[in-house]
Amino acid sequence: MPNTGGSTRYRYTPLTDGAGNQLTLNLSGVRTLRLTELESLQFNSLEVGDLQMNYLLFLPATAAPSPRLPRIAFASPGKGAENADPDPNLNISILNADTAVVAGSIVLRFDGVNVTSSATITTPSSEGPGATVRYRPGLLLPKTSHTISVTYNDNASHSVSNQWSFTVEDWPVLASADATGGSPSTQFTVQINKAQDAEVTAPPDAWPNDSYRAELQLAGKISNSDDPSGGPFPNEAAGTNNGFYTVSVINFQGNGNNAGFFSGDTRFPGVTTDNPKHMAMAATIDLQLTNGVYAMGVDCNGGSLGSGNGGYQVTAGGSAGTNVYLGSSETYPGSGDRGEYLTFVAQNSGVYRFRLLYFQQDDGNPRCEWWWVDDRKTGTGKRLINTAGTTPTTIPATYALANGAAHPGFAIQMAKAPESSGQANSSARAENQLAGGIDPGTSMAYVNEAAGTNNGVYFDQTINYEQAGLLQGFFCGDRTFPGIGPNDPGYNGGDPNNIAMAATALLQLSAGKYVFGVRSDDGFKVTTGANPPYTDLVLGVFEGGRGSAETQFTFVAPVSGLYPFRLLYYEGQGGADCEFYSFDFDTGERVLINDPASANSIKAYRIFKLLNPRESGNSFRFDFETITGKTYTVEY
Ligand SMILES: [Ca+2]
Ligand SMILES: [Ca+2]
Ligand SMILES: [Ca+2]
């Protein structure tokens, strides 16, 4: 749908399929319809104008042609999209109607070229009976338009053809003319100017909080109105080289304390006094880039005009590194605290000069970091510029099982100690508690108020819990923790405490890289292993107490298969919630592991295990889960 350009102007838009063909619905009886906006969400809603969908209007229509043929139910990019990613993964869903698509007949053309042999065609589609077509065309330049054509036959000898166009989003582009040439730098060159902390006697403010002032200050062109001679303020950070320094990373805090995303902060170069004010800094570095899409970030507390905290501007290209504007705290992507990225496209491989301009007014806690985001869709892989990326952990291939995808869901072992025994926020406590060890608070074996009728073992499809079943985190539909619901002894009026949980499952992974996330209050540890309890290799961890917050972690599955995973979770006091999910690399979306409602979710299967093993005299008895229609053999 085109942008109407304002929040007070509206238009109706007819229902279409993903290729833009108008659709007529046959409706009868009671139906529920839902409006969902696709591909309209922007980082900066002022730039494009997000859709505000208010009304569904129903108009009587002549009957749809019969039979109804398979249609493009979903397409990304869809018809008329103007915000396509420069490195898109085309995603087209064909849904069957009265007749069914013949997958082998599907032909995909991109910009007129038949690319079917390079496309991935799977059936059924991710939305239902039909087919899904995926294709990655490679780097597309911003603002260019492209055409997708999809043709196919159905099983009743009809031919269907669809064609639509989209446009790539307007992002900054570094072209070959912007390249600096030569070799990449091993250090940043930093120019810094720090004026006196004291304000001038009379207004106007000598140090407005903007990039214009920063350039003037670096050029020594801000004159001191209290100085009868009108000379510029002395540079308190001049050092021995007129304010020029070399540094290996941009990771500064006014007093040299850790701040922002990265620790190891140092003071701003040449600045020796605490809580410095009235600074301006420019950092340049020559970086080697291959052609592709990149994302950077800057963190510098605040940055909104007039906040007094500080702000930044990043440019690149040319001998000054200022040919192409990549973004700033003054415009887009907004303040340095919003966690958004400076995205740009390098059209050609080469060495490009980048320049960060930083300015600070009178905030007492100035800081500045400049980093890459290696995976811009998920926001993982943040690293300071001029540092190497980290290689994600690879799970040993021997952990992968070929069989076991029988019974969907997680097996969940729950433990809850009584309210009177305040428990440590640590995975060691959780393990001890789950194992029925000695409670240090009572010097007796742990009491489990979540034992239920099956010794604390439960089964569930997803991990999306909040202690009172209230909405928390990225996913709604929160449930109370198994065995700690309103009718269980440990519920404590909706604030159960001293919780420990271990959820295990076989996760069905294809070979490749994954980004997972756990949002938890308090801590967690995700592990995998060859044998129970599957704790050989730690993939992601947050140790200690925290409010509900996310930890992302990256790993590689070396081969396709079923990998044993274990999520250990624990809560001490206060809020308690836990979510376990993966990230979609193409959309950056979070998807609950094993969400039955999501075709994109990673599937989880229960790991077969003995339940409630018990000895009586010389006999050993146990229970185990069975699946209808299967035969079980016990050997001993
Ligand atoms: Ca830092
Ligand atoms: Ca939730
Ligand atoms: Ca609690």
Average pLDDT across each block of 10 residues of the chain; the chain has 636 residues. List them in order. Answer: 56 84 88 74 44 77 89 91 90 95 97 97 87 96 97 97 94 95 96 95 84 95 88 94 98 93 95 95 97 91 55 94 91 49 93 96 87 88 92 96 87 95 94 95 94 92 97 95 96 97 97 96 96 94 97 96 97 97 89 90 86 82 70 77
Q: Are 105 and 160 in contact (CB under 8 A)?
A: no
29-38 as b/e: b if 16+ CB within 10 A: eeeeeeeeee
Q: Are 303 and 368 in contact (CB under 8 A)?
A: no
The CATH number assigned to the domain holding 107 equals: 2.60.40.1220
Tell whether 50 is covered by a domain: no
Tell whether 192 is covered by a domain: yes
Instruction: Output the CA 368–ligand 1 centroid distance in Å.
Output: 7
* pLDDT for position 333: 52
Instruction: Output the CA 548–ligand 2 centroid distance in Å.
Output: 10
Nearest to 362 by CA among 195, 215, 227, 237: 195
C-alpha dist (Å) from residue 275 to 197, 259, 527: 9, 14, 43
Which of 121, 144, 167 is a domain's end point? 167
Instruction: Output the CA 479–ligand 2 centroid distance in Å.
Output: 8
Tell whether 8 is covered by a domain: no
Instruction: Output the CA 370–ligand 1 centroid distance in Å.
Output: 9
Residues 240, 152: one domain? no
Amino acid at 348: N
Tell whether 514 is covered by a domain: yes
SS3 annotation, 29-70: CCCCCCCCCCCCCCCCHHHHCCCCCCCCCCCCCCCCCCCCCC
Instruction: Output the CA 339–ligand 1 centroid distance in Å.
Output: 14
Tell whether 499 is covered by a domain: yes
Residues 152, 192: one domain? no
Q: Are 357 and 368 in contact (CB under 8 A)?
A: no
Q: Are 455 and 614 in contact (CB under 8 A)?
A: no
Structure tokens at 517: 């996330």
Instruction: Output the CA 380–ligand 2 centroid distance in Å.
Output: 21
Residues 414, 352: one domain? no
Instruction: Output the CA 343–ligand 2 centroid distance in Å.
Output: 30
Which residue has tokens 């836990």?
Answer: 578
Instruction: Output the CA 250–ligand 1 centroid distance in Å.
Output: 8
Residues 227, 141: one domain? no
Ligand nearest to the CA of 520: 2
Structure tokens at 589: 């979306």
Q: How far apart are CA 463 and CA 581, in angstroms?
A: 8
Q: Phi/psi class of residue 88: alpha, beta or left (left: φ > 0; alpha: ψ in -120 to 50)?
A: beta
Instruction: Output the CA 389–ligand 2 centroid distance in Å.
Output: 31
Which of 116, 148, 167 is a domain's end point? 167
Ligand nearest to the CA of 492: 3
Nearest to 152 by CA among 126, 131, 136: 131
Residues 161, 212: one domain? no
Tell whether 391 is covered by a domain: no
Identify the three-state secondary structure at position 468: coil
229-250 as b/e: b if 16+ CB within 10 A: eeebbebbbeeeeebebebebb
Which residue has tokens 């159905």?
Answer: 154
Ligand nearest to the CA of 572: 3
Residue 475: partners with Cβ closer than 8 Å, 6 or more residues away: 464, 579, 581, 590, 592
Residue 97: partners with Cβ closer than 8 Å, 6 or more residues away: 67, 68, 69, 70, 71
Residues 360, 424: one domain? no
Residues 219, 347: one domain? yes
HSE-up (13 A, CA, CB side) for residue 567: 26
Q: How far apart are CA 213 and CA 226, in angstroms?
A: 18
Q: How far apart are CA 562 and CA 609, in angstroms?
A: 16
Residue 299: partners with Cβ closer than 8 Å, 6 or more residues away: 260, 261, 336, 337, 367, 368, 369, 371
Tell whether 611 is covered by a domain: no
Instruction: Output the CA 73–ligand 2 centroid distance in Å.
Output: 29
Domain count, the chain: 3
SS3 annotation, 536-584: CEEEEEECCCCCCEEEEEEEEECCCEEEEEEEEEEECCCCCEEEEEEEC
Instruction: Output the CA 248–ligand 2 centroid distance in Å.
Output: 41
Nearest to 610 by CA among 600, 619, 618, 620: 620
* pLDDT for position 7: 59
The CATH number assigned to the domain holding 248 equals: 2.60.120
3-state SS of the chain: helix, strand, coil percent to 5?
Answer: 5, 35, 60
Residue 493: partners with Cβ closer than 8 Å, 6 or more residues away: none
Ligand nearest to the CA of 521: 3
Q: How far apart are CA 357 and CA 383, in angstroms?
A: 19
Instruction: Output the CA 408–ligand 2 centroid distance in Å.
Output: 20
Amino acid at 112: G
* pLDDT for position 377: 84
Residues 315, 277: one domain? yes
Instruction: Output the CA 34–ligand 1 centroid distance in Å.
Output: 44
Ligand nearest to the CA of 576: 3
Identify the three-state secondary structure at position 293: strand
Instruction: Output the CA 604–ligand 2 centroid distance in Å.
Output: 18
Residues 246, 348: one domain? yes
Ligand nearest to the CA of 484: 3
Residues 346, 251: one domain? yes
Nearest to 160 by CA among 105, 123, 110: 105
Instruction: Output the CA 309–ligand 1 centroid distance in Å.
Output: 16
Tell whether 439 is covered by a domain: yes
Instruction: Output the CA 27–ligand 2 centroid distance in Å.
Output: 34
Ligand nearest to the CA of 470: 2
Instruction: Output the CA 495–ligand 3 centroid distance in Å.
Output: 4
C-alpha dist (Å) from residue 468 to 18, 30, 472, 496: 40, 33, 10, 8
Residues 98, 132: one domain? yes
Q: Phi/psi class of residue 421: alpha, beta or left (left: φ > 0; alpha: ψ in -120 to 50)?
A: beta
Instruction: Output the CA 259–ligand 3 centroid distance in Å.
Output: 30
Ligand nearest to the CA of 472: 2
* pLDDT for position 44: 38
β partners of residue 148: 110, 164
Q: Is 589 buried (19+), middle (13-18) or exposed (0-12) by CB count in 10 A? A: middle
Integer Rg of the chain from CA: 29
537-568 as b/e: b if 16+ CB within 10 A: bebbebeebeebeebbbbbebebebbbbbbbb
Domain residues for the domain of 299 are 177-384
Q: Are strands 311-316 and 251-253 parallel, antiparallel or unpaired?
A: unpaired
Residues 260, 280: one domain? yes
Identify the three-state secondary structure at position 106: coil
Cα torsion 530, 535, 536, 538 to 10°: value is: 130
Which residue has tokens 């108008």?
Answer: 22
Q: How far apart are CA 323 and CA 317, in angstroms?
A: 5
Q: How far apart are CA 53 and CA 390, in angstroms?
A: 42
- Helical (H) or strand (E) element with 214: helix 211-218
Q: How far apart are CA 132 and CA 89, in angstroms?
A: 12
Q: How many residues does the chain have?
A: 636
Instruction: Output the CA 512–ligand 2 centroid distance in Å.
Output: 27
Instruction: Output the CA 595–ligand 2 centroid distance in Å.
Output: 12
Peptide bond into 418 cis (omega under 30): no
Ligand nearest to the CA of 417: 3
Instruction: Output the CA 263–ligand 3 centroid distance in Å.
Output: 31
β partners of residue 537: 528
Q: How far apart are CA 399 and CA 447, in angstroms?
A: 34
